[in-house]
Amino acid sequence: MVRTRVIPLAEQLLDTLGEQGYRSTSPRKAVTQAIAAKQGHFTAEQLRQQLPGVGRATIYRSLKLLVDSGALCRVLLEDGNLHYQLSHQGHHHHLLCVECGSSQDLLGCDIEDLLRQVSAAHRFQLSGHWLEVYGRCYDCLPKAATG
Ligand SMILES: [Zn+2]
Ligand SMILES: [Zn+2]
Ligand SMILES: [Zn+2]
């Protein structure tokens, strides 16, 4: 009998590491469980403080592999701090609020054509791009200005 079940996120992340040849061990399980429980974005340093028993190399290697496989995306805050966040889709950008730090995914990418033109004009071979959009989210707008 085939039983379908929802695979918990931590297990999916662990599978992703396994697919990249990174065998499952208890520190890696701790890392994927901590990441799966995150709401919003977090830093590698926060993860390290949360998991004092896990080595720095394991945390950074896991983060890198999960970014490379598309399970996590990197978020560069306006202050220069690099954060990570669970990613549920392919190529996308973020709308980052400079007041509350919230991040919204910006689906679709309308700048590919522009970048192709610009690259061609510079005889530059385009291999990818990374764009973050900074501003204030609707909740952080001064209400007087909107009404
Ligand atoms: Zn993202
Ligand atoms: Zn905000
Ligand atoms: Zn894009």
The contacts of residue 87 (CB under 8 Å, 6+ apart) are: 70, 71, 72, 73
26 and 62 inside one domain: yes
79 and 103 inside one domain: no
Report CA(98)–ligand 2 centroid distance (Å).
7
Rg (CA), the chain: 18
Ligand nearest, relative to CA of residue 40: 1
2 and 55 inside one domain: yes
**Residue 48, both tokens:** 């390290």
pLDDT tens digit sequence for 90-122: 889 999 999 999 999 998 888 999 999 999 999
Report CA(31)–ligand 1 centroid distance (Å).
19
Report CA(5)–ligand 2 centroid distance (Å).
36
73 and 109 inside one domain: no
- pLDDT value at residue 29: 94
Does residue 50 carry a pLDDT above 90?
yes
* pTM of this structure: 0.83
Ligand nearest, relative to CA of residue 75: 1
138 and 81 inside one domain: no
83 and 26 inside one domain: yes
Ligand nearest, relative to CA of residue 96: 2
Per DSSP, the three-state class of 25 is coil
3 and 54 inside one domain: yes
Number of domains into which the chain is organized: 2
Ligand nearest, relative to CA of residue 84: 1
Domain's final residue, options 68, 88, 108:
88
Domain region containing 26 = 1-88
Does residue 2 carry a pLDDT above 80?
no
Does residue 53 carry a pLDDT above 70?
yes
51 and 101 inside one domain: no
Report CA(147)–ligand 2 centroid distance (Å).
17
Torsion of CA 46, 50, 55, 58, to 10 degrees: -70
Ligand nearest, relative to CA of residue 101: 2
Report CA(144)–ligand 1 centroid distance (Å).
31
Give the dihedral sign, CA 143/78/92/19. Answer: negative
Report CA(97)–ligand 2 centroid distance (Å).
5
